[in-house]
Chains A and B, each alone.
Chain A
Amino acid sequence: MLAYIIRRLLQAVLVMGVMSGLVFVGLYVIGDPVSMMASPEATELDREAIRATFGLDKPLWQQYAVFMSHAVRLDFGKSFLTGQPAMGLILERMPATLELACVAMLVSAGVGVPLGLWAGLKPQALSSRAIMTGSVLGFSLPNFWVGLMLIMVFAVALGWLPAGGRGRTVMVGPLGLSVLTLDGWQRLILPALTIAAAKTALIIRVTRAATREALPMDYIKFARAKGLRWSRILGVHLLKNILIPIVTVSGLEFGQVVAFAVVTETIFAWPGMGKLLLDSIITLDRPVVVAYLILIVFFLVMLNLVVDILYSVLDPRVRLQAGKA
């Protein structure tokens, strides 16, 4: 188990290294960040000074070497735009994104699992067919358009909810959470629903498929033959077994949600790290983009690892091997 975890972490470090190199070179090729930083009336001398400050006057390989030597000490450079540490900027925005992603995933699971169970237990019922057709719509509708339509209905036409921004936050330790204030909830609902629309559809389909696969199994028949109550068979025997695919999919989708937050955060002006990434890409703020990628690779690898470990906890038949990655 330990060997397996170490192996996965080493892989992550390798991917982070390759990725940062590619992006470093790529962003170096496309543009001169100095033109973004210097004021229009700056002289050539001023530009030289800026270059020297950020080490941009050195050849590319030296810049990368400097970057790497700092990166192993967890220092990812300063933003070209604000001069603040790049990783600090991202970490500052991270709680907002994670909060949004968590609420969205909880909504998806809370709605998706019961509906999927229902559709799996009664596959021929009209209600089940309606659920399944709805789920096709759920992941067919372009996500950003769902967000716009929610704004149109609830913010513009009905005027019930604000169209964007993050509400008042309450500090819980180092984290600012908006789920604790009414204002925070009002601003959280629409972006969370936007993300949840597609994810609910996916969880419905996974739950339904797993349910239909599990129902004809012997252990269900045996439980019924023992005369157990139907609610107990559903809640204990069935749910425990279909939990494995649901947990896997939810876990992997959580990573997608965090990555896809770029879109939702742009629409709702949500001050998370996705919005920061898009802004940094547009302004060629290389340290922030590289730091974001390193962080997200780390995050995704950790998420995969946690899902794999959970998998082996939920299903004793699964054994993690060091040789298999």
Chain B
Amino acid sequence: MSDTVLANAAPPLPPPETPWQRIRREFLASRLAVLGLVLLLLAVGVAVFAPWLSPQNPYDIGKLDIFDSKLPPGSTSADGSLRHWLGTDGQARDLLSAIFYGLRTSLLVSGVSVAAALAIGSLVGLAAAYFGGWIDALLMRIVDIQLSFPAILVALILLALLGKGVDKIIIALVVVQWAYFARAARGAALVERAKEYVEAAQCMALGWPRVLLRHMLPNCLPPLIVIATIDLAHAIALESTLSFLGVGVPVTEPSLGMLIANGFEFLLSGHYWISFFPGIALALAIVGINLVGDHLRDVLNPRNVH
């Protein structure tokens, strides 16, 4: 008697979890992943709102006072108007403001280049897998040759040819990165191509652009998103390295790498903070992106669906 009452009172089964809910739940279950996400959002937030967050506009040379150069962290500027929490650099820029603006340049360059490389690489990879034959062979041979060169060398030579500038470094980063996406997209697309829904779409006499972009592309996206995330970290590191070597962004728009390079000349005289703090900012951004990418890979891996 009491058994039936209990059975009736049992709550109905919860609705099945959608894939997005599962991904969110599993992602948020890891404390490291959440930490990474917080770091990433913080970096993006600072980059977007840099003009409003910065105590000083570091690009406005008229506002800079030469007596304020190389002030240690926590000191006040000569006219007492501004407190430099992280000190100032060799050109009297407030380091905190310079880092905010530098993060902006770094994230802009790497974000745009990864997005472009993702788009170009995915299309090439999808086309190679879809058409096969000599197109596939040709495209993949180009990818092989491209990947056999260390990225830093290719980018270095390209920038030597193109010259300095934010647009130039974006081009160089796209050139060294698209091949990763092409190879990954081809691998994913080869699997999808053998499935019945592609055959069905072809039987309906849909054009190949539609089959490629509307049917196959969405199914190939998860691994590409993971690679894009981790690649963003690579792009930031590579951009800062190139700027450090003096072939990257122009002096007027210093990225984090260039700030570090500027501090290098003062390092030996003990002015450590000019290199130290931009490096910390760079490292935190990269660690955040790597943590997010690492856990996205675990969560988006179809083998892990329970």
Q: Is B85 an interface residue (CB 8 A)?
A: no
Complex: how many Å from CA A23 to CA B291? 38
A137, B288: Cα distance in complex, Å:
10
A289 partner residues in chain B, CB cutoff 8 A: 157, 160
| Residue of B whose beta carbon sits closest to that of A163 | B268
A15 near B145: Cβ-Cβ < 8 Å: yes
Q: How far is the CA of A141 from the CA of B237 in the complex (A)?
A: 8
Q: Which of B245, B270, B287 contacts A262 (CB 8 A)?
A: B245
Contact yes or no, A144 B161, CB < 8 A: no
A residues less than 8 Å from B257 (CB atoms): 142, 144
**Contact A148–B279 (Cβ < 8 Å):** yes
B240 CB contacts on chain A under 8 angstroms: 142, 144
User: Do residues A263 and B153 form an inter-chain contact, with CB atoms below 8 A?
Assistant: no
B275–A300 CB distance below 8 A:
no
Pull 27 A–B residue pairs with CB atoms less than 8 Å apart, ordered by A.
Answer: A15-B148, A26-B161, A27-B161, A136-B287, A136-B294, A140-B287, A142-B241, A142-B282, A144-B241, A145-B275, A145-B279, A145-B282, A149-B279, A152-B275, A155-B268, A259-B152, A260-B150, A262-B152, A262-B245, A277-B156, A278-B156, A278-B245, A281-B156, A282-B160, A293-B153, A293-B157, A300-B149
A89–chain B nearest beta-carbon distance, Å? 18
A112 to chain B, nearest CB (A): 18
The residue on A at minimum CB distance from B272 is A152
- Pair B268/A156 contact, Cβ less than 8 Å: yes
State whether B279 touches A156 (Cβ < 8 A).
no
Give bound CA distance, A208 to B289, whole Å: 22
Tell me the complex Cα distance, A297–B283, Å.
31
Q: Are A30 and B163 in contact (CB under 8 A)?
A: yes
Closest B residue by C-beta to A266: B245
Residue of B nearest to A30 (CB): B161
Residues of chain B lying within 8 A (CB to CB) of residue A260: 150, 152
CA distance A266 to B148 in the complex (A): 24
- The 9 A-B pairs with the shortest beta carbon distances in the complex, nearest first, are A259-B150, A145-B279, A26-B161, A281-B160, A140-B287, A140-B286, A141-B283, A259-B153, A144-B244
Please, how many angstroms separate the alpha-carbon atoms of A238 and B245 in the complex? 43
Neighbouring A residues of B286 by C-beta, 8 Å: 140-142
A263 engages B241 (CB within 8 Å): yes
- A9 on the interface (CB 8 Å rule)? no
**What CA separation (Å) do A281 and B150 show in the bound complex?**
17
What is the size category of the interface that chain A forms with chain B?
35 or more
Q: Is the CB of A137 within 8 A of B287?
A: yes
Cα-based distance from A75 to B268 in the complex (angstroms)? 42
Given A143-B241, A152-B272, is A281 in contact with B282 using a C-beta cutoff of 8 Å? no
B157 & A23 in contact (Cβ 8 Å cutoff): yes
- Contact status of A256 and B150, CB under 8 A, knowing A27-B161, A148-B267, A289-B157: yes
B294 cross-chain contacts in A, Cβ below 8 A: 136
A143 to B286, CA, bound (A): 12
Determine the chain A residues whose CB is within 8 A of the CB of B149 once the complex forms: 297, 300
Decide yes or no whether B290 CB sits under 8 A from chain A. yes
Let me know if A140 and B283 touch, CB within 8 A.
Answer: yes
**Measured between C-beta atoms, what is the minimum distance from A293 to chain B in Å?**
7
In the complex, the answer to whether B148 meets A300 with C-beta atoms within 8 Å is: yes
- What residues of chain B have their CB less than 8 Å away from a CB belonging to chain A? 32, 144-145, 148-150, 152-153, 156-157, 160-161, 163, 233, 237, 240-241, 244-247, 257, 260, 263-264, 267-268, 270, 272, 275-276, 279, 282-283, 286-287, 290-291, 294
- Measured between beta carbons, the chain B residues less than 8 angstroms from A262 are 152-153, 156, 245
- 1/0 per residue, CB under 8 A from B, across A290-325: the answer is 000100110011001000000000000000000001
**Measured CA separation A182–B282 after assembly (Å):** 35
The interface residues of chain A lying within 8 Å CB-to-CB of B267 are: 148, 151-152, 156
Majority secondary structure, B binding face = helix
The dominant DSSP class at the A interface is helix
Do B157 and A29 touch (CB < 8 A)? no
Given A137-B287, A140-B290, A142-B282, output 17 extra A-B contacts at Cβ < 8 Å.
A18-B145, A27-B160, A27-B161, A139-B290, A142-B237, A144-B260, A145-B275, A145-B282, A145-B283, A151-B267, A152-B272, A281-B160, A281-B247, A282-B160, A289-B160, A297-B149, A300-B150
Name the residue of chain A whose CB is nearest to the CB of B288.
A140
Q: Is A287 an interface residue (CB 8 A)?
A: no
When C-beta atoms are compared, the residue in chain A nearest to B261 turns out to be A144
User: A123: shortest Cβ distance to chain B, in Å?
Assistant: 14
Contacts of B163 in A (CB 8 A): 30
A255 interfacial contact with B, CB 8 Å: yes
Which of A30, A140, A155, A267 is within 8 Å of B160, CB to CB?
Answer: A30
* Contact partners of A29 in chain B: CB under 8 A: 161
- Complexed CA–CA distance, A296 and B283 (Å): 30
Look across to chain B and name the residue whose beta carbon is closest to the beta carbon of A255. B150
Q: Do A156 and B245 touch across chains, with their CB atoms under 8 A apart? A: no
Partner of B276, one of A140, A149, A263: A149
Contacts of A149 in B (CB 8 A): 276, 279
CB < 8 Å: which of B148, B152, B260 contacts A304? B148
Residues B275 and A148 in contact, CB atoms below 8 Å apart: yes
Q: How far is the CA of A152 from the CA of B263 in the complex (A)?
A: 11
Cα–Cα distance between A186 and B160 once the two chains are bound (Å):
34
Output the least CB separation between A267 and chain B (Å). 8
Beyond A140-B233, A142-B283, is A148–B161 a contact (Cβ under 8 Å)? no
A324 vs B270: C-alpha distance when bound (angstroms): 56
CA distance A304 to B149 in the complex (A): 12
Once bound together, how far apart are the Cα atoms of A139 and B276, in whole Å?
Answer: 18
A residues 79-115 in Cβ contact with B at 8 Å:
none
Closest to B278 in A: A145
- Given the interface pairs A145-B260, A145-B279, A281-B160, the reply to whether A136 lies near B291 with Cβ below 8 Å is yes
Min CB distance A9 to B, Å, is 14
